[in-house]
Amino acid sequence: MNEQAYRAASEHAVYLDRSSAGCVEITGRDRLVLINRLSTNAVLNLAPGTGQITVLTTNIGRIIDLITVLAIDDDTIWVITSANRGAQLTTYFGRNKFYGDQFKVRDLTESVHQMRVYGSQATAMLEQLTNQNLEQVGLWQHISAEIDGCPVRLARIRPMRGTGWAIFADLAAADALCEAFDDANGALLDRPTYHTLRVEAGYPALNELNEEFIPLEANLWDAVSFNKGCYIGQEIIARMDSRGRLAKKLQGLRLSGAVEVPASLTKNNQDAGTLTSVVWSPALNQFIGLGYVRTGHELGSELTVGEQQAIVVELPFITQTEPTTVE
């Protein structure tokens, strides 16, 4: 982990290359109808400049991918996928075209450069670079701007250390954007440090978002609508919600020492779940992790993982709310 980048996230801003994330363009009359019937959230009424997270699920409610839908204009949406899923989901969307549907799907992953910007002063830094007021841009909303003469799209995303932004630009702008962030004292965020910040924020990664789990178990309640029409996997998800009890849930765990993941969690030699992520947190001065814990084990429960002890705690480990004022 890079201590300088870790400190910069709290004190200023950090940036990360995320071009491995997929970007799928869908155009045509039924572009939102398609996503609405394949995923968990209500997206039919997205207007240009707005967006939403939603989960593609199997017919038994298991996670295929957590995606972000951005309404670009009156005829176009972008679907932002997890890493290396662009081509796979382009095929998936095309395969789910019904008779009479009007939409076209195109994989833009190789032509769109993606970055993420986080930190307590990230919004202020981007305002300086774009000469725009970004405070009024709400979660999942997005605007067009320029950075150092390069056209970009800025979308507000879940925060880490105060703020979160996704940056989309032409591939040719990649070096210019990095230089602009460096000149504004932004720090390059390496992958190990990113994962430390992610776990502290309680956000699941790919190994926690797959077909072993349903969205509610992954704490993705804000990506699920219980009032929309039918979608693939709805029956299972609605049933688990109505019963008010999940078999397992993604929880935080304070650890007595380092553990290789994945690792089994136990209580009195009985299965208690699976530890899925572990990092060292400088802010908390201990190893922490994420894991799917069986719901019988409440907050404060002491579990065993390998030779170490694990205490179940509430997420997030560190509050990620953006400050109301910028110093």
Determine what percent of the chain is predicted with pLDDT higher than 70: 98
Residue 319 pLDDT more than 90?
no
Residue 321 pLDDT more than 80?
no
- Residue 246: CB atoms within 10 Å: 16
Q: Using alpha carbons only, what angle is made at residue 137 by residues 131 and 143, rounded to the nearest 5 degrees?
A: 65
Residue 25 pLDDT more than 70?
yes
The DSSP code for 259 is -
| pLDDT recorded at residue 244 | 76
Residue 114 pLDDT more than 50?
yes
Cα–Cα dist 76/283, whole Å: 42
Residues 6+ apart with CB under 8 A from 96: 34, 37, 38
Residue with the two structure tokens 């204009």: 73
Residues 6+ apart with CB under 8 A from 316: 200, 201, 202, 252
| pLDDT tens figures, 55-74 | 999 999 999 999 999 999 99
Class of residue 309 by CB neighbours under 10 A (exposed 0-12, middle 13-18, buried 19+): middle
Secondary structure class of 148 (helix, strand, coil): coil
Cα–Cα dist 99/104, whole Å: 13
Mean pLDDT over each residue of the chain, to the nearest integer: 95
| pLDDT tens figures, 286-314 | 999 999 999 999 999 999 999 999 999 99
- Bridge-based pairing state of the strands 104-107 and 112-118: unpaired
Binned at pLDDT 50, 70 and 90, residue 323 comes out as very low
Report residue 4 as tokens: 């300088």
The DSSP code for 282 is T
Secondary structure class of 254 (helix, strand, coil): strand
| pLDDT recorded at residue 327 | 25
Determine what percent of the chain is predicted with pLDDT higher than 90: 93
Arithmetic mean of pLDDT, 135-154:
97
Binned at pLDDT 50, 70 and 90, residue 324 comes out as very low
| pLDDT tens figures, 151-194 | 999 999 999 999 999 999 999 999 999 999 999 999 999 999 99
Binned at pLDDT 50, 70 and 90, residue 201 comes out as very high
Binned at pLDDT 50, 70 and 90, residue 1 comes out as confident
pTM for this predicted structure: 0.94
DSSP secondary structure letters along 169-196: EEGGGHHHHHHHHHHTT-EEPPHHHHHH
| pLDDT tens figures, 29-38 | 999 999 999 9
Q: Which of 18, 323, 9 is nearest to 167 (CA)?
A: 18
Binned at pLDDT 50, 70 and 90, residue 241 comes out as confident
